[in-house]
């Protein structure tokens, strides 16, 4: 039998090991999420990230070595962003007579998300790369990662901030909008799609179909708007 | 499936080239998305052709940000230091954005007489 150290040195050089580990960790995360009945806090990505980060620490594997394997999955973010045009196109027919409320809520929600995040973090002493990363956290992950790269933020941190935003949005949306006595499903879905992207949209779909369609619309439109206005908003805080 | 994937990659490619060539603030894939949306509005047959593949890809969207998410190990120092500030910023901003977005939607819908479906 070959020396195990040689096998390990092969595995740590080739993409196979960490590509497999990424898919397995996500599978575990997805199963656990299913077992909790898809509770927003049991997010499969959060679970997979914690498992893999722990594994990297245990095996003393540096992140670039891990990324050699995981890059094949990461690459798909670009095509997936382009593919977001399809649900956006499907949901466009819902706009109809709601075009003005949609446009106003998009602008108000998107600006509020960016400016309050930057303002609060800035007031609490956050500066530089981390602040730049925070600007796009309400946009869907592939877009936020792209924007963070453009603004001099950290793409990897962007992924985590986006995820946490989605988890927070999915948890607070129902009690918050009930407290505000908002009963229009279009408003409820659209606002959570703008503020909390795909995870908010998934939550809206669980509650009501109209809310889900408007959430998908909000997520898609905000991906474009955030890319346009985040650089301007960030400039106010530099 | 192959033509659909090729078309999606083609829109991304055009987006990346345009974003760099014209020095635009939009990332290439976002431009590709806008371009594809415009193309589908103009030619609905294109949308019907791409729909199955695109929805298959998006069904596993959350898997795709695992590799970037794991990169958080490189930022543990930053997170330990800025973690509480970031947590407060995320909660305040998400709650405020949902509330403002929904209130503005309802307000403008009332002004313009746009009834719920």
Give the dihedral sign, CA A83/A206/A171/A40: negative
Predicted local confidence at residue A206, as pLDDT: 78
Contact A194, B116 (CB under 8 A): no
Place B76 in a pLDDT band, splitting at 50, 70 and 90. confident
pLDDT of B62 above 90: no
- Average pLDDT (A192-215) is 85
pLDDT of A201 above 90: no
Q: Is B24 on the interface with A (CB under 8 A)?
A: no
Place A193 in a pLDDT band, splitting at 50, 70 and 90. very high
Predicted local confidence at residue A104, as pLDDT: 95
> Measured between alpha carbons, how far is A133 from A175 in angstroms, rounded to an integer?
28
Predicted local confidence at residue A41, as pLDDT: 79
Place B53 in a pLDDT band, splitting at 50, 70 and 90. very high
| Percent of the residues in chain A that have a pLDDT greater than 90, as a whole number | 43
A85-131 residue pLDDT tens: 888 888 887 777 789 999 999 999 999 999 999 999 999 988 888 89
Region of poorest pLDDT, from A57-71, B48-62, B89-103:
B48-62
Set of chain A residues whose Cβ sits within 8 Å of the Cβ of B14: none
Give the predicted TM-score (pTM) of the model: 0.82
Nearest to A82 by CA among B18, B67, B69, B106: B18
- Is the CB of A49 less than 8 angstroms away from the CB of B66? yes
Q: Is B65 on the interface with A (CB under 8 A)?
A: yes
Q: What is the DSSP string of B47-111?
A: HHHHHHHHHHHHHTHHHHTHHHHHGGGGGHHHHHHHHHHHHHHHHHHHHHHHHHHHHHHHHHHHH
Interchain CB contacts (distance < 8 Å): A and B: 343
- Is the CB of B30 less than 8 angstroms away from the CB of A150? no
A4-28 residue pLDDT tens: 888 888 887 788 999 999 999 999 9
Average pLDDT score over chain A: 89
| Percent of the residues in chain B that have a pLDDT greater than 90, as a whole number | 57
pLDDT of A40 above 90: no
Predicted local confidence at residue A8, as pLDDT: 83
Q: Is B43 on the interface with A (CB under 8 A)?
A: no
- Is the CB of B93 less than 8 angstroms away from the CB of A224? no
- Average pLDDT (B41-58) is 91
Set of chain A residues whose Cβ sits within 8 Å of the Cβ of B27: 81, 143, 146-147, 149-150, 227
Predicted local confidence at residue B117, as pLDDT: 58
Residue among A83, A158, A234 with most chain B CBs within 10 A, to mutate: A83
- Is the CB of A187 less than 8 angstroms away from the CB of B105? yes
Q: Is B13 on the interface with A (CB under 8 A)?
A: no
Predicted local confidence at residue A45, as pLDDT: 84
A44-84 residue pLDDT tens: 888 999 999 999 999 999 998 999 889 999 899 889 889 88
Structure tokens at B24: 């635009």
Set of chain A residues whose Cβ sits within 8 Å of the Cβ of B24: none
- Is the CB of A147 less than 8 angstroms away from the CB of B27? yes
Place A138 in a pLDDT band, splitting at 50, 70 and 90. confident
Q: Which residue bears the tokens 């446009």?
A: A103
> Measured between alpha carbons, how far is A219 from A201 in angstroms, rounded to an integer?
7
Structure tokens at A218: 């909000």
Structure tokens at B1: 């499936």
A144-182 residue pLDDT tens: 888 888 888 888 888 889 888 988 998 899 999 999 999
Higher pLDDT, A161 or A2: A161
| Closest CA–CA distance from residue B74 to any residue of chain A (Å) | 7
Set of chain B residues whose Cβ sits within 8 Å of the Cβ of A176: 95, 98-99
**Does the structure's ipTM exceed the value 0.90?**
no
Q: Can you list the pairs that A96-103 forms with residues at least 24 positions away whose Cβ atoms lie under 8 Å?
A: A97/B114, A97/B115, A98/A186, A98/B109, A98/B114, A100/B108, A100/B109, A100/B112, A100/B114, A101/A186, A101/A187, A101/B104, A101/B105, A101/B106, A101/B108, A101/B109, A101/B112, A101/B114, A102/A190, A102/A214, A102/A217, A102/A221, A102/B105
Question: Which of A89, A155, A184 has the CB atom closest to B41's CB atom?
Answer: A89
């Amino acid at each position: 039998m070959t020396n195990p150290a040689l096998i390990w040195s092969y595995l740590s050089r080739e993409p196979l090991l960490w590509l497999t580990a990424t898919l397995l960790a996500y599978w575990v995360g997805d199963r656990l999420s299913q077992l909790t009945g898809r509770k927003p806090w049991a997010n499969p990505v959060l679970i997979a990230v914690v498992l893999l980060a722990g594994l990297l620490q245990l095996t003393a594997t540096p992140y670039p070595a891990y990324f050699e394997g995981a890059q094949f999955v990461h690459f798909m973010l670009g095509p997936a962003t382009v593919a977001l045009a399809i649900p956006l196109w499907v949901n466009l027919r819902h706009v109809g007579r709601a075009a003005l409320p949609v446009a106003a809520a998009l602008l108000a929600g998107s600006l509020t998300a960016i400016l309050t995040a930057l303002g609060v973090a800035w007031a609490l002493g956050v500066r530089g790369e981390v602040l730049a990363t925070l600007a796009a956290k309400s946009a869907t992950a592939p877009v936020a990662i792209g924007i963070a790269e453009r603004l001099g933020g950290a793409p990897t941190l962007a992924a985590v901030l986006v995820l946490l935003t989605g988890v927070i949005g999915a948890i607070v949306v129902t009690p918050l909008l009930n407290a505000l006595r908002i009963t229009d499903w279009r408003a409820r879905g659209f606002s959570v799609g703008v503020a909390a992207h795909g995870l908010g949209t998934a939550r809206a779909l669980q509650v009501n179909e109209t809310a889900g369609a408007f959430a998908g619309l909000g997520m898609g439109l905000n991906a474009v708007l955030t890319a346009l206005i985040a650089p301007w908003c960030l400039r106010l805080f530099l | 499936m192959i033509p659909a994937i090729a078309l999606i990659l083609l829109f991304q490619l055009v987006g990346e080239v345009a974003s760099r060539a014209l020095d635009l603030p939009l990332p290439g894939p976002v431009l590709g998305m806008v371009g594809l949306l415009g193309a589908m509005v103009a030619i609905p047959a294109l949308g019907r052709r791409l729909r199955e593949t695109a929805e298959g890809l998006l069904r596993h969207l959350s898997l795709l940000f695992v590799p970037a998410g794991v990169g958080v190990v490189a930022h543990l120092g930053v997170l330990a230091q800025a973690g509480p500030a970031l947590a407060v910023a995320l909660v305040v901003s998400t709650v405020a954005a949902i509330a403002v977005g929904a209130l503005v939607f309802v307000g403008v819908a009332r002004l313009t007489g746009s009834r719920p479906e």
